[in-house]
Structure formats: C-alpha cells, structure tokens
Structure 1
C-alpha cells in the first residue's frame, strides 16, 4: 500500500510542480497558483512521510527475519545435539537388531539390560565429549 501511495504522490507532485512552473499563454489566477503551491508543499510532506513509513516497515521486516532466522538456528542446534546424543545408542541397538550368532550377551539372562546400559553409557560418553569440546554448555 505504501508503494502505491508513493507512486500516486509522485504523480501528483510532478503535476503540481509543472503547473506552478509553467508560464503558458493562459493566465492563471494568483489564488490558483497559491493553492497549487500549498498543495505542492503538502504533497512533498506526504511524500516524505510515506517514504519514512516505507523505510520503517522495511526495517521491521528485516528485524523479524533476523529473529526468525535466529530462532531457527537455535532449534537446528538443539536437534543436532540430540542427534549426536542418540547416534551411538542407535548404532548399538541396530547391531543387536540383526539376528546373527556371536553377538555378546545373546545367551545371558541380563543381556537386554547390558545392551541398555551400554546404550546409556555411549550417550553419556558422547555428552561428556561434547561438553569438553565446548559444543554444549553445562
């Protein structure tokens, strides 16, 4: 809408400026020329106001885009950390998901518990490594 107003005011500005500058063979009453000059000043003021509103709107849009990008980056960071924490457990459960002979704790009664503890230990080890490298605070 501001762009449309800007265009319309630009056209009116040009029209009244030409009217006030033109000295055609026809004589315009002084009151008409004075009214045209006042209208030209008002149009200039409106033109400036519309331009400043347009600039403010652009700044607000840029600020909103920056906030949205920052929020998206934070969410992606959290998802990356969660992925790193669950990756070792996913690998271990995937290994035990295949049905082949020779996997550790297959014949043991507490084999499932050992696998769960191993997954938890791998996740904790990953957490400790990420903290030591400064990837996550803590």
Structure 2
C-alpha cells in the first residue's frame, strides 16, 4: 500500500476543504499552527486506529469515523477498517485519511464541475461535512451487495456434495467479514447522532434532518448486516448437516462392509486350519464349495440388510 503523502485543497468563495492522504507529522504540525488544533487531536491523527468519537472545542470539532473497506481480490477479499479524521471549523474542513477510495472519488466529483463544487460547498462547512459523510456511508452498500452475493453463491454451492468441505473455509471467512462489518458500523450510529447536538456554529439546526437521514442510512446498513448474518449462519448449519450426513453415510457403508467380511473371515480362517477331517476339505471340488459358500453368505447378508432397510 502506498504511503506517499498527498494533499488536495479545494476552495469555493470563503469555504476551504483540505484533504491529506497518508499525512506526515510535519504537515499535521503546520495544520495545528494554522488552526490551533489541540495537541491530543494531532496525536490522534498520527495514531493508526482510534475509537470513533467527536471532540468539541470553541472553534472547531474533531471527528473520528470508521468505515468498512473491501481489501484484496478474489478468494482473498476481506473487510477492513478505514479511518477518517475530520476537523470542521466555521470556514474550513480538513479531512485526513489513508488511501480511502470514497474520499478520493468525492474529491474527483467535486473538482469535476463548478456546479458540483457549488452543490457540496455553497451552503457552508456543515453541509459539506454532511455530503462527505453521506457519501462515505453510501459506499457501504456495495460492500453489503458483495457479501450478499457471496452468501447467495454459497447457499447454492453448499448443496454440491462433492465440494461441501471446500466451502467450510469460505463460509467461516464470510461470517468473519460480517462480524468485522458489524463491529465497524455499531459505534458510528452514536457518533453521527451526536452531531445534531454539537455547537451550532459548525452544524446549523437546519442540517439536523440531513444528519437524521444518515442515521437512518446507518440503521439500514445495520439491519442488512443482521439479515446477512442470519443467512450466513443458516448456510453454515446446512453445510454442517450435509457434512454430517455424508460422514454418517460413509461410516454406514464401511460398517456394512466390515460386518459382511466378518463371516467370510471366519470361514476362510476355519478352512485355513491345518487339521485333518474338515468338511469337504479333501473333496476334489473343495475350492469350488468354499467359494460358493462365501458367495452365498454375502448374498444372504445383503438381502437381509436390504430387508431391514439398512442398505
């Protein structure tokens, strides 16, 4: 993963949006000097993973959000946490992230046309924050769609008896991704809900409904995760049942063979004794008699097992 620092600055009238990807300490110290950010906030920006939160100050808010991101390709895809830190003041918004694809897409969209820039930035930093956060959570749905496709695919393929054991690892990895996704999303609901009650210098009252919409979106994501977890658990249980059934069937077959072999072993062992006077041992067709006896015993046992419906 590239770690080169990248800074993007977008202005519209008196509103400034600054985005720093993979920030270095010097860049953060320059920001602190310009906007008088608290030392602890700068430390949080340098730390790899922080808990989601909102810190309120007289002149700005500091927000830490966690978003899910899908890493890897093919069978190695997995859900990871992407952290986004945001400083919002009266006339500026600073976004700090590490290779967050959604942020990069938003930047490209805002820079694409003057109209788009106006749509995002004309109503102030509070509305800009809403638009960015809304896009961040909107990009959770493709991840849910991807996981849903995996569940549906496994639901079909789990009934392929020849591949049942091969699917177990995929099912467990899917359940792990859903657990990670749930763990990431859970604290975000409270963080976004808090924005409605923070300093109205940064989040005007008329934006409360907009952030309510994001809370509703997070609730929808949360419910979808729960539904997918239930489906994944059902697929897992079905897979285990099929494995158990296949194993029992194999054991039943092996047991039947062992039971059939038992009298055959006895007969061959009996006639294998070096004793004078064994029935038909001295007969000219002794081998034929013994072989016929073995075949007859096998047929009788097979017929008996079928009669008892053991075969």
* TM-score, length of structure 2 as denominator length: 0.39
Aligned residue number for residue 287 of structure 2: 112
For 1:103, the equivalent position in structure 2 comes to: 278
Which of 4, 12, 16 is matched with 2:188 structurally?
12
CA distance in 1, matches of 2:307, 2:216: 67
More helix as a share of residues: 1
More strand by share: 2
Question: C-alpha separation between the residues in 2 aligned to 1:111 and 1:53?
Answer: 69
The residue number in structure 2 matching 1:84 is 259
Further displaced range: 5-14 or 95-104? 95-104
> What are structure 1's unaligned runs of at least 5 residues?
none
Q: What does the per-residue CA deviation read over 1:28-64, in whole Å, with 9 as the maximum and x for residues that have no partner?
A: 3225533322211111111111111111111111112
Matches within 5 A, 1:1-138: 1-20=177-196, 22=197, 26-27=199-200, 28-136=203-311
Bigger RCO (CA 8 Å, 6+ sep): 1
**d(CA) in 2 for partners of 1:130 and 1:5?**
52
Change (3 A) 1:102 1:31: farther
TM-score by length of 1: 0.80
Q: Choose 97-106 or 116-125, whichever is displaced more.
A: 97-106
* Structure with max Cα Rg: 1
Q: Distance in 1 between matches of 2:224 and 2:255?
A: 46
Aligned residues: 133
CA distance in 2, matches of 1:41, 1:125: 70
Q: 1:117 & 1:49 partners in 2: Cα distance? A: 67
